[in-house]
Amino acid sequence: MGATLWVLGSAGWMPRAGQETSCFLLEVADQLVMLDAGTGVANLDLAVEALRRHDRLSVLLSHYHLDHLVGLMYLKRFAEGKRVDVYGPGRPAYPKSTEDYVGDMLQGALYSGGSRGFAREVRYHDYGGQDFRVGDLPISVRPQSHSAPSFELRVGDLMTYATDTTFSAVAWEDCAPSRALLHECWQLGAGDPRHTSAKALVAGLPRERFGKVLLIHHNPSWDDGQRAEVERVAARGGIELAHDGMVISL
């Protein structure tokens, strides 16, 4: 079963020129799945044909930090006639449900449409840290280490999405293979303990289990020199940097 992946937002924290925050779109058979809904939702113009083919969109959230969530309100432009199912960690991983957190963000005083105003029909689901299904697609869930509970999401054997996490080589020793791994990279070497460095990933990732490994959630503070250095270290491990607008056949 083939699939297509669009990189719509490859930055973390905040957008910068040409780089929106976390958002990825996956089309597989009759499913259209979005991984996180950062400002990269604004790049959905890049996948307009795929949007036309589906009247339903499933949005999978790794966690609720705003750089992964704020684009839900942009969906109105692209999904107004669609049904959108939003899957977030919710209870018991968090004290409140996904619907509550999105409702807080899209409360009436801040966004006139409210938490159900960005599509024809919006449904909220809590996966609670457990595996779940989107139609026929199995989604495997693993807890990660971050400043708030965040979860690695693996879509069948197609792709593994690991963002907003510390990298631990031990946790990857028995990981399941997939055709692509999208893994966050925030820094070249040791630094912010809530995030991953390129050096740790190159040293500890069982690279051979993945067809392609792309670095995502780039630190917007990188200057060109720092970015080039991360790219050079990653390339030594057979790893590439993702960029907005990248389209990958899986």
Least distance from Zn ion to the Cβ atom of residue 147, Å: 6
Residue with Cβ nearer Zn ion (3 or 93): 93
Least distance from Zn ion to the Cβ atom of residue 74, Å: 17
| Contact pick of 40, 164, 218, 242 for Zn ion (by CB under 5 A) | 164
Q: Which helix (H) or strand (E) holds 234?
A: helix 224-236
Under the criterion CB under 5 A, does residue 65 sit at the interface with Zn ion?
Answer: yes
Question: In this chain, which stretch among 53-61, 117-125, 161-169, 242-250 interacts with Zn ion, using CB under 5 A?
Answer: 161-169
Place of tokens 């307009």: 48
Starting at the earlier edge strand, list the strands of the sheet with 151-155.
Answer: 132-134, 137-143, 151-155, 159-162, 178-184, 210-216, 240-241
Residue with Cβ nearer Zn ion (27 or 36): 36
| Contact pick of 12, 71, 89, 90 for Zn ion (by CB under 5 A) | 12
Least distance from Zn ion to the Cβ atom of residue 218, Å: 11
Q: Is the dihedral of CA 140, 141, 145, 148 positive or negative?
A: positive
Under the criterion CB under 5 A, does residue 71 sit at the interface with Zn ion?
Answer: no
**The token pair that represents 94 in the structure block:** 């968090």
Place of tokens 């790219």: 231
User: Helix, strand, or coil here: 75?
Assistant: helix
Applying CB under 5 A, which residues contact Zn ion? 12, 65, 67, 164
